[in-house]
Amino acid sequence: MRWSTPLRKRFAVGLGALFLVCHAVVGPLLLPARALTMWQYERKLVKAQESAFGLLDQPLQELVLVNAPDFYFAEMLFLTRVARGKPPAEFEICLNGTLEPIVLSRLDVNTVELAPEGGFMAAPFNRIYRDPTRPMPRSTIYSFDTFQIRPLEINAAGEPMRAKFRFRWPLNHRRMVWAAWHNGRYERLKLPDVGQSMRLESKGP
């Protein structure tokens, strides 16, 4: 159906009026709330940072966060600490960027397996770190100076659902400080014995 000229004109006027209301009326009304968004994010970040690094009580300790709201949050948690001139840990890593329930299994003295509900990409913001056109191959070992990651299960979209992490130190070594998110802050995590598993429920925002 072809629109008549008067109908197109009325549609254009109506659309322009809608944009005017959104930008000139609704926008300014929402500005105070939107301006508080980063302030609230900062408060959340500081609380998480203080609780996580507050668990370190010896020199040369390595901080292992089992989870975080997303990987960007964990990255900012580490970077903003350095930016404020506070000492970092000897080594820092976040294993999983989602607060969905996780099954954590102790495979051996140096290795844990993580199976987060919905996979490692469950938080939408995590997808900025992974090109969807490049699926992750299964069982490829990603080696770093202090640990290795091996995906064990990949979904149809090429996203990791389950993976194991092997560290250079025994997991219960005094250098290793394990923490998990609980009610908006980090708490020390006691890992299960070798061959055992535990389910982590991250309550709160």
In tens, the pLDDT along 32-71 reads 555 545 567 788 888 999 999 999 988 889 999 999 999 9
12, part of any domain = no
Model confidence at 83, pLDDT cuts 50, 70, 90, reads confident
**SS3 (DSSP) at 147:** strand
- Interval 94-121: pLDDT, tens: 999 999 999 999 999 999 999 999 999 9
How many domains does one find in the chain? Answer: 1
- In angstroms, rounded to a whole number, what is the distance separating the alpha carbons of residues 162 and 152? 5
Q: Which of 98, 103, 119, 118 is nearest to 199 (CA)?
A: 103
23, part of any domain = no
30, part of any domain = no
24, part of any domain = no
Q: Which of 158, 184, 176 is nearest to 61 (CA)?
A: 176
34, part of any domain = no
205, part of any domain = no
Q: Which domain holds residue 151?
A: 43-200
- In angstroms, rounded to a whole number, what is the distance separating the alpha carbons of residues 113 and 164? 4
**169 and 175 in contact (C-beta within 8 Å)?**
yes
Q: Is the CA virtual torsion 165, 117, 186, 195 positive or negative?
A: negative
Residue 14: C-alpha distances to residues 10, 24, 26, 56 (Å) = 6, 15, 16, 60
Provide the percentage of residues in the chain whose pLDDT is more than 90.
Answer: 53
